[in-house]
Chain A
Amino acid sequence: MADEPLVLGIETSCDETGVGIVRGTTLLADAVASSVDEHARFGGVVPEVASRAHLEAMVPTIDRALKEAGVSARDLDGIAVTAGPGLAGALLVGVSAAKAYAYALGKPLYGVNHLASHICVDQLEHGALPEPTMALLVSGGHSSLLLSTDITSDVRPLGATIDDAAGEAFDKIARVLNLGFPGGPVIDRYAREGDPAAIAFPRGLTGPRDAAYDFSFSGLKTAVARWIEARRAAGEEVPVRDVAASFQEAIVDVLTRKAVRACRDEGVDHLMIGGGVAANSRLRALAQERCEAAGIRLRVPRPKLCTDNGAMVAALGAEMVARNRAASSWDLSADSSLPVTDPHVPGREHSHDHDHVHEVSKENLYS
């Protein structure tokens, strides 16, 4: 145990300032400072508000994580940070902090991919990831089906949303129903008391000729909004619980159907679900039901590890150390559109025809 890598991870791709500490696949600390309340009145995440909050929260959150883990910064084996994808300005705050921290402590730096981190976090809950693993990532920013044979080097996108992310649809429908922001938890709550079969909302991209693993939630969102407006126009009361349940059912039906199909088609017997929407109780229940019927083992981390956090970044960083992946260089930049196929951003080879590549002298790193 003690020789497993001790890694601190920093996550600032959206509105959560997350700092986590793991030893191998063991979670030691998961400190999160959220600016969600500051965004609530805007009905969505405001990038500049998030960036400002990250700057203020970073040092206290690092401190809190170290205390929670009961480890000294000197004992860390590496610092990992979300290099992308995400909000450019928000990512840059985390990358700046991680670089300064790693440099000052004389530790290697690992810029890692946010999406791969969402998958890797499950190692903290259910142990080493099976290889291959099918992953369904659903949040306010992403809806993807990913197949990974090695989370540090091989993540293949099978499908993704062609319009809205699943979490975005939750936010929009919650706004139409005047339920506030963020929409996921509140819709989940209302839906528990509603009838999921009350209204037959459309299932996007499920026709025989549609892309098997892609998602579309924009048509559903419009259909739900239209249905509500028709009620309001007729002076009728909107059955919020039934609308919430039926809307939610349409989303989780498509998500789980496509994820199980992808597992079957690819011969993968494990499905991992991550991202903020994985906290949805109906998604978890329906996925469980359908995976059992198909003989697939379902792995969903506890809700706090599904939403954005630093522990997931640390988990992937620890895996990078364990598998001897190349560290990032000191000129690591935040990449708001880092491709999902890049689990991390290894340092560039020293090259004399790139005058902006500065090799950092080892002498300045004391450890």
Chain B
Amino acid sequence: MLLLALDTATPAVTVALHDGEAVIASSSQVDARRHGELLLPAVDRVLTEAGLKLDAVTALVVGIGPGPYTGLRVGLMTADTFGLALGVPVHGLCTLDGLAYASDIEKGPFVVATDARRKEVYWATYADSRTRLTDPAVDRPADIADRVAGLPAVGAGALLYPDTFPSAHEPEHVSAAALASLAAEKLAAGEELPAPRPLYLRRPDAQVPKNYKVVTPK
């Protein structure tokens, strides 16, 4: 098996190849504004490093967020289209789960929080690095302070708000290597992975225009 993992739900553009045993190549670049430009060259670099071609890939796994939408969609659209062209399955995996898996926290509960912008975080709590306790949510840090009080936390969203997450630490962003390892573990255990559909958590910003504005001065 050869699993290609991508994630663009955080400022990291991250790609990894997993052969069923271990990660054999990976790349992570942090640049929140250039997901679209960086992802494909990163895929190419990782394949080259492993001495493989894209048609050797037997399955894809992509971070489904939650994450800022524009970047998030780059990874999802890329994975979807690779899947179409190669005729291989495309799996999703919650980006927060990838971060939890990458954390070195042995015993939970703990929190994973990423930056949702607009002074909010995407977050979930975990019993251990493989077991999520709550559905991913988006909230203002102050509004969840009671629920996360005293818990260790990882992720850029936690590092950004020390008042709410005083014991925040690394990793800051998800890595596709962690995502690939978690996916490989789950697939080997016969677990079904989520569909590769985005976790937006917010409705699109769209105001129904107010009743037509009168232009004649009163």
- Please list the residues of chain A having a beta carbon within 8 angstroms of any beta carbon in chain B: 41-44, 46, 48-49, 51-52, 55, 58-59, 62-63, 73, 88-89, 92-93, 95-97, 99-101, 103-105, 175-176, 222, 225-226, 229-230, 233, 330-334, 356, 358, 360-361, 363-364, 366
Q: How does the 8 Å CB contact mask read for B187-218 relative to A, with 1 for contact and 0 for none?
A: 00000000000101000111111001011100
Q: From known contacts A48-B69, A89-B69, A226-B216, infer whether A99 and B40 are also in contact, taking CB-CB under 8 Å.
A: yes
Q: Is the CB of B39 within 8 A of A229?
A: no
Q: From known contacts A229-B214, A229-B215, infer whether A103 and B43 are also in contact, taking CB-CB under 8 Å.
A: yes
User: How many pairs of residues, A versus B, come closer than 8 Å at their CB atoms?
Assistant: 132
Closest to B215 in A: A225
A-binding segment of B72-80, B103-111, B151-159, B172-180: B72-80
Name the B residues within 8 Å of A55 (CB-CB). 73, 76-77, 80, 198
Q: Is the CB of B43 within 8 A of A42?
A: no
Q: What are 30 pairs between A and B in contact, CB < 8 Å? A: A42-B208, A43-B208, A44-B209, A49-B204, A55-B76, A58-B81, A59-B80, A59-B81, A92-B36, A92-B73, A96-B36, A96-B39, A96-B78, A96-B81, A97-B80, A99-B40, A100-B40, A100-B79, A101-B84, A103-B54, A104-B55, A175-B209, A176-B212, A229-B215, A229-B216, A330-B41, A331-B41, A333-B37, A360-B41, A366-B53
How long is the Cα–Cα vector from A229 to B213 in the complex, in angstroms? 11
Q: Is the CB of B84 within 8 A of A364?
A: no
Q: Is the CB of B206 within 8 A of A101?
A: no
Q: Which of these, A104, A332, A364, contacts B81 with CB under 8 Å?
A: A104
How long is the Cα–Cα vector from A97 to B76 in the complex, in angstroms? 9
Q: Is the CB of A42 within 8 A of B85?
A: no
Q: From known contacts A55-B73, A59-B80, A96-B74, infer whether A330 and B40 are also in contact, taking CB-CB under 8 Å.
A: yes
Q: Which of these, A46, A51, A103, A366, contacts B40 with CB under 8 Å?
A: A103
Closest to A96 in B: B77
How long is the Cα–Cα vector from A58 to B40 in the complex, in angstroms? 18
Closest to B41 in A: A358
In the complex, which range does the number of interface residues on chain B fall in?
Answer: 35 or more
Q: From known contacts A59-B84, A358-B41, A358-B45, infer whether A42 and B206 are also in contact, taking CB-CB under 8 Å.
A: yes
> DSSP class of A's interface residues: helix, strand, loop or mixed?
helix
Name the B residues within 8 Å of A103 (CB-CB). 40, 43-44, 54
Q: Is the CB of A93 within 8 A of B55?
A: no
Q: Which of these, A52, A63, A233, A330, contacts B44 with CB under 8 Å?
A: A330
- Decide if B48 is an interface residue (CB 8 Å cutoff): yes
Closest to A73 in B: B85
Q: Which of B27-75 touch A at CB < 8 Å?
A: 34, 36-41, 43-45, 47-48, 53-55, 69-70, 73-74
Name the B residues within 8 Å of A361 (CB-CB). 44, 48
Name the B residues within 8 Å of A330 (CB-CB). 40-41, 44
Q: Is the CB of B36 within 8 A of A334?
A: yes
Q: Which of these, B54, B70, B79, contacts A89 with CB under 8 Å?
A: B70
Q: Is the CB of A100 within 8 A of B216?
A: no
Interface centre among A92, A104, A176, A356 (most CB of B within 10 A): A104
